[in-house]
A and B are shown apart, each in its own frame.
Chain A
Amino acid sequence: MSSADKLERGRLEEEFRSRMHDAEVAPAPDLWSRIEHELTVNENREYKDRLFIYKRLAAACFVLFMLAGALLTFEYKKELAAPATTATAPANNPTTGLAAAEKAADQPTEATGVAANETTGAASINTAPAAPQPKQRTAEAVVAGADQALAAKKAPAAGDVPVNAGELLKLLTNNEGQGNTIAATTPAAVQEDETPVPGATAGIAADSDKAAADKLAVQQMLRNAGSIVALSKEQKKLKDSFAAATTVSSNNDSQAEALTKSFASLNQSDKKAGQTAAGGDSRLSLGMAYGPAYFNQNIGLPNQMMSTVSRNSLVAPGPSTSRFAAENMEAAREEFEDNTDAAFSYAVEARTGIRLGKKWKLLTGIGYSRNSARTKTTYVIRQYWFRPGTREPYELASTIFLPSLNNGFTTDSISVEQTDPFYVNYDYKQLSVPLGLQYESKIAKDWYWYASGGVAANFNLGSEIKATSAEIGSVKYSSRDEDSPFREVQFSGNVGAGIGKRVSESVMVVIGPEFRRYFSTMLARPDEALAPQGKPYSFGVNMGIQYTLDKK
């Protein structure tokens, strides 16, 4: 066993433990502010990470939305095609039944024509010439065929049709002995009730040999003819009822036919709408649009102007600072770069659209936008100035961002102090006059997609840089402020795409992403600014509603 193994916690260990374990040494006074600064930076990094995740999530949602839309469109079109074929099938059945009946009617019996005509609801039994026994069977066959045809329609009222048809057939055929007589009667005999029928008389006269014997028979026949006329009236009523029944049946079946027609009309309207894209037959429309956006003011930090020089340095002239201030300035710069985020920005527009051709639309109107950004910082920059006339010294507290907007950085000295975290908000308000073109194309019945592009003149309504710290005064420039370093007018270009849905005949809603980039910097004289000036841009979601004003 080595001597190390034999080591026990002796007096030395106990002495050290008692003196050192709970010993206290005061840390450096600024250690907490360093820790706090690191915590703030970490929190902002986490916030940015979360924001990045949310952005990806939003992008994924958008892609999913588009995919779901495309899938729904595909399914909808498939469904649209399917009922059209199933709806035409029953509509074709009566035709098939009628065709069968017509086929049966091609038999050399004229009564089949009656049956066939009755089936079509345009029957006139008066035109039915005489027919022997086979006529009855043929008629039954035809009616049965028609019944089958009606039954094949599976209409609820189809069951009534065979009854009526059967009754009618019974009435038509129940007087076999009078068949010839009925056949001999002319239509005039039917039309003139209870009056001697010339045709019938002529028939009787033709049989002069049996005149006497048949006189009574003729009288009887005439009576029978009268009854037949009455019967014919009854038959006519029944025929009408049959026709009505057929019509009812047809009406029931007409639901399917109507459905088919409606689908056909839908298809036609689709084709028509496809020709005129989403605008229907409208030419002029009004709309409102709202778009929350991510705005990047795209202003960098200067490399030199804010680089303070230590009092002990012999390197270059510049604002006099302490070593700590120089270090803090660097930390403030890093903090600004790390902690500047987009704040809530939005734009609202009132638009007028004029249709150009079938798929193009010219858009113009007026809009208001508010672009914002935000920095979380812990540094206050104090600049010491002398008033021009009196040479009276005064102090101006600001953030790292503010001096970067100005030129002529002639402050006497700078002090950079670390304080509690505070926010600096940048707000830019603009009035916009946009002019753009939009291309639209239909993707489904009420859905369409669009792609748009345009330019806008943006008039500065005011700019404000406001800190939540009471130590730092806000900077605010109105639209007519001569001291404002910002441009009065900025031009921008925008592109966008999205989808739209017609919610009623005149109202449509649209949604889609939109990217806007300004053609110039926010500062009027960027070359003279002490910080590099980029061209701002925004990326947002355009949500709008359009109302069609007129019809062609």
Chain B
Amino acid sequence: MKLFTKPKSDEEKLIEGCIAGKREMQQKLYDLYAKKMMALCLRYAPTNFEAEDMMQEGFVKVFANIQNFKKDCPVEFWIRRIMINTALKHLRQKSLLTVSHETEEAASVSTDSFSLTGYSLDELLGLIQSLAPRYRMVFNLYAIEGYNHKEIGEMLGISEGTSKSQYSRARVILQEMLARQEHKFKEHVISR
């Protein structure tokens, strides 16, 4: 008989409540991570409407499968992974992840004087959303989520080389867009 048990953390109680199907616990978990997951979905989705759809589907999956959460990692990481998989599924359904084995090499752009300090979150999200779906996906997974190209290749069903190539291309496009924004900003300042 256990006389001393480790007190359960709030997160553990929350998860247990969700496993029991308690609606208020589910809502608490949603409230806890909704904003972060919304930002994530916005990075992968081309529009806000689709981002909400992804998030709705993702959270339904979270609550339907939370009993499978093994607690070997933070629940946030687990939810994030479900959201990413949901986003991948959405994009696959729309055939936006058509595999193109690109081998072209993107021109390297210097990022020495690069800074995002002057950009708002909405502007940055707008930049990412303006990328083509396959570039957006690879860029998100590599630059922001931190996956390597081998993992990305496995997730997207493409080769590691294709992942690198697409990332390189996405990076160049983003740099060009940033450069254009910089240029517009300078012209705006000069004109004033």
A36 and B114 contact, CB distance less than 8 A: no
Which of A17-25, A389-397, A488-496 is found at the contact surface with chain B? A17-25
Q: Which residue of A lies closest to B26 (CB)?
A: A39
Q: Is A337 in the interface zone, CB < 8 Å from B?
A: no
Q: CB distance A15 to B105 under 8 Å?
A: no
- The closest CB in chain A to the CB of B64 belongs to A42
Is B86 located at the chain interface by the 8 A CB criterion? no
Q: How far is A420 from B24 in the complex, measured between Cα atoms in Å?
A: 11
- The residue on A at minimum CB distance from B168 is A4
Q: Are A28 and B52 also in contact (CB < 8 A) when A4-B105, A5-B164, A39-B63 are? A: yes
Q: How far is the CA of A17 from the CA of B175 in the complex (A)?
A: 15
- Given A4, A13, A32, which contacts B27 in the complex, CB threshold below 8 Å? A32
Q: How far is the CB of A339 from chain B (nearest CB, A)?
A: 15
A528 interfacial contact with B, CB 8 Å? no
B47 to chain A, nearest CB (A): 13
B121 touches A23 (CB 8 A): yes
| B interface: dominant SS | helix
Chain B: residues with Cβ within 8 Å of the partner, total of: 47
Is B91 positioned at the interface, with any CB of A under 8 Å from its CB?
Answer: no
Interface residues as binary, B96-135 with A (CB distance below 8 Å gives 1, 0 otherwise): 0000000001111001101110010100110010000000
Q: Which of A2, A6, A20 contacts B124 (CB 8 A)?
A: A20
Q: Is the CB of A25 within 8 A of B38?
A: yes
Q: Nearest Cβ in chain B — how far from A30, in angstroms?
A: 9
Which listed residue (A4, A11, A17) contacts B167, Cβ 8 A?
A4
Known: A12-B114, A17-B144, A21-B144. A38 touches B56 (CB 8 A): yes
Given contacts A3-B108, A31-B52, A32-B30, whether A39 and B60 have CB atoms under 8 Å apart is: yes
B124, A19: Cβ atoms closer than 8 Å: yes
> What string of 1s and 0s marks CB contacts (under 8 Å) between A261-300 and chain B?
0000000000000000000000000000000000000000
* B55 sits at the interface (CB 8 A): yes
Interface string of B164-178 (1 = CB under 8 A from A): 110110010011000
C-alpha gap A42/B61 in the complex (Å): 11
The reply to whether A26 and B171 contact each other, CB–CB distance below 8 Å, is no
Please give, as numbers and ranges, the residues of chain A lying within 8 Å of B108 by CB-CB distance. Answer: 3, 6
B56 touches A43 (CB 8 A): no
Which residues from A are CB-within-8-Å of B25?
A: none
A26-B35 in contact (CB<8A): yes
With the chains together, A42 CA to B59 CA distance in Å? 13
Task: Name the A residues within 8 Å of B112 (CB-CB).
Answer: 11
A31 to B54, CA, bound (A): 11
- In the assembled complex, B183 has its CB within 8 A of some CB on chain A: no
Residues of B within 8 A of A20 (CB): 39, 43, 121, 124-125, 128, 144
Given A13-B143, A26-B38, the answer on whether A7 and B30 have CB atoms closer than 8 Å is no
CA A31 – CA B108 in complex, angstroms? 42
Q: In the complex the two chains form, is A2's CB within 8 Å of B105's CB?
A: yes
Asked if B36 contacts A22 (CB within 8 A), the reply is yes
Q: Would B35 and A35 count as touching, CB distance under 8 A?
A: no
Q: Report the nearest B residue to A420, measured CB to CB.
A: B23
Distance in angstroms between the alpha carbons of A36 and B106 in the assembled complex: 46
A16 in contact with B38 given A4-B168, A36-B23 (CB within 8 Å): no
Can you identify 6 A-B contacts, CB atoms within 8 angstroms?
A: A4-B105, A4-B168, A17-B144, A25-B35, A25-B125, A27-B38
A residues lining the B interface (CB < 8 Å): 2-7, 9-13, 15-17, 19-28, 31-32, 34-36, 38-39, 42-43, 420-421
